[in-house]
Structure 1
């Protein structure tokens, strides 16, 4: 077996196809955009109602961190994540982990991601040491993270059903 770990693009595609397989296995009508649509990797369509849901997949080979006793998950995002909080968009964070083991999936409403990234970045900027505030203000990097023992996101596939069943604009 190859020891090649894959480029960032290959890792991202692996995550997208794993999510697509999970969606199809669960009976969703799911369609990959293959990078052709900004802000969404997979389009999920409810065949009965015609409602659509966008899924943005973010994949990391090693997203679990445990520098202290309390383990936490982290995925890097861009500042655009602060602006993408909309009712018909769901993030699926994928932890690829080891080859041959099913990845771990974390489904989070985009509104939660946008709020978290905005709040965390503002707190990080506010805590800037003397002379670092401008540099921190100008960075486009954001991180979405949560503690492993305090998350309700793992395998929350029912979020998709709730979003698809919601009245338009009330995701």
Structure 2
């Protein structure tokens, strides 16, 4: 049985994920700014000298590997004013005490596709949903040959896929 995680621990895990993504971006020569509060609804902006910007939401899994809780709005990314091709969700997997956490760099559209596949378009009456890479779609968990969400969206191809952000390093 898993123990309940305190709000303090959840906040520390959230911050650790955000700082990890910011660190990995800056290590690759990208300029970043962390967004505190709810000003634009994204955790990190990454940008280059040509004016390209990537809007990044960071989600951190610290208790269950490859499972992140996201706001319901990520199932319908077309409802955001920021262009869809500029929005990303970096999913950090810190579960199991991994000292070098995996980071998936998902375009917002791919996250929505994964959520729609799992829920079959029948979303719960909730303000948040989950993206669980190792799960099969609801109601189809015992069927043979049914792909997991991770297989369906080819999650492995988004592991450390920083190039998808479409920004150039400011230093080589």
TM-score (norm 2): 0.70
- Indicate the residue corresponding to 2:164 in structure 1: 159
Query: Which whole-Å CA distance do the structure 1 matches of 2:17 and 2:115 have between them?
Result: 22
1:145 aligns with 2:103: no
Larger Rg: 1
Question: Hey, what's the Cα distance between the residues in 1 that align with 2:88 and 2:114?
Answer: 14
The CA distance in 1 between the partners of 2:17 and 2:130, in whole Å, is 18
Cα distance, 1:78 vs. partner? 2.0
The match for 1:30 among 18, 32, 42 is 32
Q: CA deviation at 1:157?
A: 1.5
Aligned equivalent of 1:101, options 99, 109, 116:
99
Q: Secondary structure at the match of 2:158?
A: coil
Residue number among 58, 68, 74 corresponding to 1:81 in the alignment: 74
Superimposed CA distance per residue, residues 99-147 of structure 1 (whole angstroms, 9 cap, x where no aligned partner): 58121111100011122223432x273xxxxxxxxxx642233121224
Matched with 2:111 is 113
3-state SS of 1:152 partner? helix
What does residue 56 of structure 1 align with?
57
Matched with 2:43 is: 41
Instruction: Provide the alpha-carbon RMSD of the alignment.
Output: 2.5
**d(CA) in 1 for partners of 2:64, 2:121:** 20
Can you give the 5+ residue segments of structure 2 that lack an aligned partner in the other structure? 79-83, 135-149
